[in-house]
Amino acid sequence: MSFDIPDDRRYLESHEWALETDGVVRVGISDFAQDELGDVVFVELPDEGDDLAQEAEFGVVESIKAVSDLYAPVGGEVVAINNELFDAPELVNEDPFGEGWMLEIDPDDPDDLKALLSADEYEEQIA
């Protein structure tokens, strides 16, 4: 089975993706992760203004099969959360790289992204 792995993002081994745009890092979970989870029924996210450490747990995604912790790809302040997910958690399954995004972080150190996996490295990990 092949999964969508956009090459404009960086990835954590725990299956979160990070996309930097205008100094802000948008975060979600990969197509592989949402497929492994099955139908997502609940998402728990931090509050705007919360400070996260790189690779620290920031929330939970719950599906009909499992509950999985979510980890921050970069450290920094949460500047936005996707409130749509509270009423429509299925967006994580339907569009994990678009409408299913989870939060945005103002990174403490933008170079943190360089430590993450490239799309090719991530693809090798899940192969």
pLDDT band at 2; cut points 50, 70, 90:
confident
Degrees (nearest 5) of the Cα angle 110, 93, 115?
Answer: 20
Beta bridge partners of 104: 26, 80
Assign residue 105 a region: left if phi > 0, alpha if psi is -120 to 50, beta otherwise?
A: beta
What pTM does this model have?
Answer: 0.95
pLDDT band at 23; cut points 50, 70, 90:
very high
Q: Quote the CA–CA distance of 50 and 36 in Å, as a whole number.
A: 28
Q: pLDDT of 72-108, one tens digit each?
A: 999 999 999 999 999 999 999 999 999 999 999 999 9
Degrees (nearest 5) of the Cα angle 39, 43, 48?
Answer: 155
Q: What is the mean pLDDT of the chain?
A: 96
Cα four-point dihedral sign 37, 33, 14, 26: negative
